[in-house]
Amino acid sequence: MYVYADTDFFLALLKPSDWLKERAKEIREQFADQITTSEVTFIELMLLCKRFNLEPVKITSAAMKIGHLDDPVLLKAALNIEKGGNVFDSFHAAHCEESIISSDDVFDKLFGLTRINLEPEER
């Protein structure tokens, strides 16, 4: 049985100080190999990294260990954020192998993807 943890749990463990830290540590110990989460948690964590100027790769790596996740997309998204991408574009780019349909040139300029331009061609 897995126990799903939301962002608050990971923040309590990963922030230097948090009023929920001790309880989060107890829960982590109690459910050590049963804790899991989803990409939604990582998106929220990355938004908070941007807001509070935290290190996306460091936070992602630590949360992946706690949540027993081995998903290269999560780390790729964190690296994209460190390159300067916004959170949502970084996750979109992390899911791409090489091509993306979009009107946003950030995908080819910042992430080096082949962009199939959604904008109509000029006539």
Residue 54 lies in a domain: yes
| CB 10, CB 63: distance < 8 Å | yes
| Tens digit of each residue's pLDDT (9 = 90 or more) over 2-55 | 999 999 999 999 988 999 999 999 999 999 889 999 999 999 999 999 998 899
Q: What is the pTM for the complete model shown?
A: 0.88
Residue 44 lies in a domain: yes
Residue 122 lies in a domain: no
| Tens digit of each residue's pLDDT (9 = 90 or more) over 69-116 | 999 999 999 999 999 999 999 999 999 989 999 999 999 999 999 999
DSSP track, the chain = --EE--HHHHHHHHSSS-TTHHHHHHHHHHTTTTEE--HHHHHHHHHHHHHHT--HHHHHHHHHHHTT---HHHHHHHHHHHTT--HHHHHHHHH-SSEEEES-THHHHTS-PEEEE-SPPP-
Number of domains in the chain: 1
- Measured CA to CA, the distance from residue 19 to residue 117 in angstroms comes to 47
Residue 89 lies in a domain: yes
State which residues form the domain around 27.
Answer: 3-117
Residue 7 lies in a domain: yes
- Measured CA to CA, the distance from residue 41 to residue 59 in angstroms comes to 12
Residue 123 lies in a domain: no
Residue 56 lies in a domain: yes
| Tens digit of each residue's pLDDT (9 = 90 or more) over 8-20 | 999 999 988 999 9
